[in-house]
C-alpha cells in the first residue's frame, strides 16, 4: 500500500512514518517538500507518491500564535485538509486526518469526558481552525477517518514534558507554577502511531477519539513524568487565571475513545503506563537533549 504522510517531521508524523515504513511504501514529507495549503504542491506530491491512503499529521499547532496568525492557521488547518481531501477523493483513496480535543468548550465537570457525539464549541482560534478543518474533510471526502487526539508528547519535536524537563534540569530549586485546573490525557505519539496502524486495516469511518486512558492536570502530568525521570524539581500547582495565555483552553478536554472501543480497535494504555514506557526507552536522550538546548 502507498501511504502519504504529511507533516512527516513533526512529533506525530515522524513516529507514524517510522512505524508504517516497516510494512508499507511510505512517502513522508515535511512542509518544505509538501505545503498542504498549496494545491500545486499537493498535486506534485500525489503524482510522486500515488497514495492509497493519506495520513494528515500536518497542522499549524502553535495554539497561542493562532490568536494573531489567524490567516496562517486557516491556510494550514482548513485549506490544507480541503486540498488533501479533494485530491484523495479524486483517487478514490482514504484520508486519516488528525484533529484535537480543543474543539470542545470543556465546561463538563472533570469527572466526565467527551465522546464523539458531544457538541463542539471551540474556545480558541486554533480550536476553531481545527474544527473548520474537520468540516472540510467531511465536505470533500467520502472515505475518511478523523482522529481527535490531545496533549501529545513524543521523542521528536517540542512538547510540554520536554519543557518541564529542561526547566527542572536547568535549576531544580527554581519554583515553577503549573496549571492544576485543566484536565486532559497526555498521549504518547508512539501509541497514537500504533492506533493509526490498527485503524488502517479496518474500515472505520467518521470521527473517533484517540487519547491515552485516564486523565490528569498539567501539574499532575509534569510531576508524574519528572518522578519517573528521577529528576528533582520544585513545581507548585496554580490555577489558569494565574497563568494567562492569549488562547483560552478548555478546563476539561478529557476524551472518551468510545468509537474505537466499540469497534474493538483501541490500543491505548493508561497515560501513566505510557509515560513509564516513554521514560524507559528514551530517558538518556531526553536528558541529553534537555541539557544541550
Ligand atoms: N501537540 C498536541 O498536543 C496536539 C494535541 C491535539 C491534537 N494535535 C494534532 O495532532 C497533529 C500532530 O501534531 P504534532 O504535535 O505532531 O504537531 P507538530 O509537531 O507541530 O508537527 C506539525 C507539522 O506540521 C507541519 N506543517 C506546518 N505547516 C505545514 C504546511 N503548510 N504544509 C505541510 N506541513 C506543514 C510542520 O512541518 P515542518 O516541521 O516541516 O515545518 C510540522 O512538522 C496535528 O493535527 C495537531 O493539530 C496535537
Mean pLDDT, to the nearest integer, of 264-292? 97
Mean pLDDT, to the nearest integer, of 46-66? 97
Among left, alpha and beta (phi > 0; psi -120 to 50; other), residue 14 is: alpha
pLDDT of residue 244: 87
Contact predicate 146/137, CB 8 Å: yes
- DSSP bridge pairs for 99: 148
Q: Which atom of ligand 1 is nearest to the CA of 62?
A: 20
Our answer on whether the CB atom of 152 is closer than 6 Å to any ligand 1 atom is yes
Give domain limits for the chain.
2-151+188-213+255-268
pLDDT of residue 105: 97
Name the residue at shortest CA distance from atom 33 of ligand 1.
Answer: 31
Residues near 125 by beta carbon (within 8 Å), at least 6 away in sequence = 66, 67, 70, 73, 247
Question: Is 153 designated active site?
Answer: no
Mutate to test the pocket of ligand 1, among 5, 6, 7, 195 (most ligand atoms within 8 A of CB): 7
Q: Which atom of ligand 1 is nearest to the CA of 56?
A: 45
Tens digits of residue pLDDT in 204-252: 999 999 999 999 999 999 999 999 999 999 999 999 999 889 999 999 9
Mean pLDDT, to the nearest integer, of 179-187? 97
Our answer on whether the CB atom of 38 is closer than 6 Å to any ligand 1 atom is no
Contact predicate 17/192, CB 8 Å: no
Residues near 71 by beta carbon (within 8 Å), at least 6 away in sequence = none
The confidence band for 6, taking pLDDT boundaries of 50, 70 and 90, is very high
Ligand 1: centre distance to CA 60 (Å): 6
Our answer on whether the CB atom of 12 is closer than 6 Å to any ligand 1 atom is yes
SS (HEC) of 203-272 = CCCEEEECCCECCEEHHHHHHHHHHHHCCCCCEEEECHHHCCCCCCCCCECCECCHHHHHCCCCCCCEHH
User: Per-residue pLDDT for 293 more than 80?
Assistant: no
Q: Catalytic one among 126, 144, 153, 233?
A: 126
HSE-CB at 210 with a 13 A cutoff on CA atoms is: 32
Q: At what angle do helices 80-90 and 39-49 cross, to 10 degrees?
A: 40
Average pLDDT, the chain: 97
Q: Which atom of ligand 1 is nearest to the CA of 37?
A: 31
- The CATH number of the structural domain formed by 2-151+188-213+255-268 is 3.40.50.720
Our answer on whether the CB atom of 187 is closer than 6 Å to any ligand 1 atom is no
The confidence band for 104, taking pLDDT boundaries of 50, 70 and 90, is very high
Tens digits of residue pLDDT in 7-17: 999 999 999 99
- Residue 94 backbone dihedrals phi, psi, to 5 degrees: -105, 140
3-state secondary structure of 74: helix
Ligand 1: centre distance to CA 180 (Å): 26
pLDDT of residue 242: 92
Amino acid at each position: 500500500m502507498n501511504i502519504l504522510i504529511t507533516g512527516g517531521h513533526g512529533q506525530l508524523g515522524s513516529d507514524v512514518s517510522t512505524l508504517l515504513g516497516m510494512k508499507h511504501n511510505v512517502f513522508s514529507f515535511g512542509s518544505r517538500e509538501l505545503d498542504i495549503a498549496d494545491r500545486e504542491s499537493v498535486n506534485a506530491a500525489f503524482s510522486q507518491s500515488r497514495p492509497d491512503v493519506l495520513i494528515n499529521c500536518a497542522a499549524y499547532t502553535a495554539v497561542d500564535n493562532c490568536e494573531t496568525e489567524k490567516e496562517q492557521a486557516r491556510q494550514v488547518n482548513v485549506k490544507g485538509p480541503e486540498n488533501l481531501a479533494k485530491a484523495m477523493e479524486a483517487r478514490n483513496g482514504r484520508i486519516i486526518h488528525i484533529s484535537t480535543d480543543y474543539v470542545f468548550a470543556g465546561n463538563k465537570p472533570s469527572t466526565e469526558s467527551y465522546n464523539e457525539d458531544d457538541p463542539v464549541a471551540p474556545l480558541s482560534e486554533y480550536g476553531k481552525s481545527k474544527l473548520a478543518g474537520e468540516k472540510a474533510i467531511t465536505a470533500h471526502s467520502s472515505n475518511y477517518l478523523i482522529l481527535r487526539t490531545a496533549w501529545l508528547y513524543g521523542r521528536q519535536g517540542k512538547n510540554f514534558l520536554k519543557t518541564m524537563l529542561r526547566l527542572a534540569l536547568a535549576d531544580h530549586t527554581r519554583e515553577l507554577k503549573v496549571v492544576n485546573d485543566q484536565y486532559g490525557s497526555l498521549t504518547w505519539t508512539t501509541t497514537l502511531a500504533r492506533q493509526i496502524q490498527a485503524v488502517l486495516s479496518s474500515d472505520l469511518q467518521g470521527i473517533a477519539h484517540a487519547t491515552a486512558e485516564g486523565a490528569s492536570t498539567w501539574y499532575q502530568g509534569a510531576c508524574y513524568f519528572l518522578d519517573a525521570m528521577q529528576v528533582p524539581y520544585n513545581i507548585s500547582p496554580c490555577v489558569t487565571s494565574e497563568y494567562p495565555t492569549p488562547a483560552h483552553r478548555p478546563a476539561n478536554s478529557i476524551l472518551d475513545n468510545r468509537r474505537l472501543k466499540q469497534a474493538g480497535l483501541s490500543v491505548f494504555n493508561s497515560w501513566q503506563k505510557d509515560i513509564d514506557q516513554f521514560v524507559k526507552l528514551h530517558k538518556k536522550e531526553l536528558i541529553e537533549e534537555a541539557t544541550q538546548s
